[in-house]
Structure 1
Amino acid sequence: KDEDTDVQSKAIEGLWESEETCLIDPLIELLAPESPEKVQATAATALGKFALLAELEKLRPKHKTRVCRALLGVIEDTSRSLEIKRRALEAAAPLSLPQMEKAIARAYQSGVPRLKTSAIFAMGKNCDPRWLPILIKELTSADAEIRYEAASACGELGEKEAAPYLSELTTDFDIDVQMAAIQALGKIGGPEAKDSLERCLTDDSEVIQQAAEEALKELEADEDPLSFRM
């Protein structure tokens, strides 16, 4: 049985990049409580692709409705496991719906560390500037995983107001947090982000130097989209 579950999960993972709407109903069926938990989790993540397409208005209304109902239904279902709820929250995050905002806020305030981490990830994917004050506050969290997710989420929001706070994290003692801050600065752009990334070019770590170099390339390409740098 475990082998069957693994095969099923791997098969769903292979469909993550697909945008074929004929996959929506089978994925929703696999999200049913009767499915093995691992399969439910993988199906929820796969539906995230369609949640994003729905938000970008690249799905028909009937498909959007089914995806939204399925994922929000799982998030609000108290009988579901923490892992399934987390996956559904992260998958549904791009949807700019009042129910989604409430779900993210509830997860953030839940007092459950793993759910809070998923909520911070979801804030970035939700792309709503209303989350910025929370994300800036969490950049100083004692938990490195929270700092990492908050930095990444700031990059997704792209608000220049976050740049000075992210600049401080480029010298964080956790290298993953440093990398997330550098990548976020590359996405945000602006003079402050550029100055901070240029300072990182002289860091003792080659990994940090390379990350800063890549982020500067992204920043410069965004500033001048017609430039074709090799």
Structure 2
Amino acid sequence: LCRMMTSDPSPEVRAAAAETLVHLASLARAGKLAPRDEKSIAGELFGVLENENELDAVKLKALEAVSAFGGDRLTPFLEAAWSSGDLSARQSSIYAMGRTSDPKWADRVVEDLEHDMVAVRYEATMAIGELGDESHLHALEGPLDDEDLTVQLAAISAVERIGGDIAKSLLELRLVSSEPRVVELVQQALEAMKEEEDLDEVVTPEMARSMFGAGDTLPGVDTEGYEAAELEGWANAQPDPGLVDDFGTGVTEEAEELGLDRGDPFDVDLPPQDPWDHD
């Protein structure tokens, strides 16, 4: 994909390759790809942005993809696209700002919640759900009542992601909407918020510490430098060499007789006896 994005003679193919890298960049940033792949993807995407001879259509898709990595290196490209005066660039820059998850872009995004273009308002609404907090909920009241249904639905999702009591109140007011899809999405959002609240109440800090092992220490025992053998009294025990099993876990006598002990990390148990072997 990186080679296609940088080398294919067709600008449409290069743009499509960059667009596909949006998802892979997110996986890389989340640690789901090898570090070398993350470095390669980020490097190639920034290379496209820095290529003065590349078409804007390809650069904008690269901007959307590389935004998953965030960082100061991205800042000038986001600002240039946002202020370029081109609507496609504005839309891509807002989308990219949301993908950075960096709250420093929230105030910039809020400015476009009332943009003339529906596509820009939609992207701004979705982005503020990723970047905003409760202080930005009042700015979403307009999108919740937007004349365009897609913007309304985006606003419901954004309010849900921000969460909190104020968010819940804003959503409850939309239960009387005349638009069935609005009511349905609001109901789903409120249910999801309730489930999250219930989970927060059920999982107490004490339970969380216990689940992650912090509460499993023994009273009066300093686990720093803990030596189980000395503490439990078997440090000086000398086992009978003939009883030491160095073949692996659950080794069978037949295996030792056959000389199957390889003595390496792949030393595993023999498979169960074949029930169909009548010999």
Q: TM-score range by the shorter chain?
A: 0.7 to 0.9
- Give the AA of the match of 1:117: Q
1:154 to 118, 128, 133: 128
SS at match of 2:176: coil
Residue 210 of structure 1 corresponds to: 184
Aligned equivalents of 1:35, 1:222: Cα separation in 2: 49
Q: How does 1:131-210 map to 2 (within 5 A)?
A: 131-210=105-184
Greater helix content: 1
Residue 127 of structure 1 corresponds to: 101
2:77 to 100, 103, 111: 103
CA drift at 1:90? 0.8
Greater mean deviation of Cα atoms: 147-156 or 94-103: 94-103
The percent identity for this pair of structures is 31
Greater mean deviation of Cα atoms: 190-199 or 158-167: 158-167
Residue 87 of structure 1 corresponds to: 61
SS at match of 1:110: coil
Contact 2:106–2:132 (8 Å) recurs in 1: no
Aligned equivalents of 1:207, 1:123: Cα separation in 2: 28
Aligned equivalents of 1:73, 1:220: Cα separation in 2: 45
TM-score by length of 2: 0.67
**Runs ≥4 in structure 1, deviation > 6 angstroms?**
none
Greater mean deviation of Cα atoms: 132-141 or 48-57: 48-57
Task: Kindly provide the CA deviation profile for residues 161-196 of structure 1, in whole angstroms up to 9, marking residues without a partner as x.
Answer: 221111232111111111111111111111111111
CA drift at 1:226? 6.8
TM-score by length of 1: 0.81
Find the structure with the greater CA-based Rg: 2
SS at match of 1:204: coil
CA RMSD of aligned residues (A): 2.0
Higher RCO (CA-CA < 8 Å; seq separation 6+) = 1
SS at match of 2:69: coil
- Which runs of 5 or more residues in structure 1 are unaligned? 1-26
> Is the counterpart of residue 31 in structure 1 residue 5 in structure 2?
yes
Residue 52 of structure 1 corresponds to: 26
Contact 1:200–1:208 (8 Å) recurs in 2: yes
Contact 1:167–1:193 (8 Å) recurs in 2: no
Greater mean deviation of Cα atoms: 44-53 or 179-188: 44-53
Contact 1:125–1:156 (8 Å) recurs in 2: yes
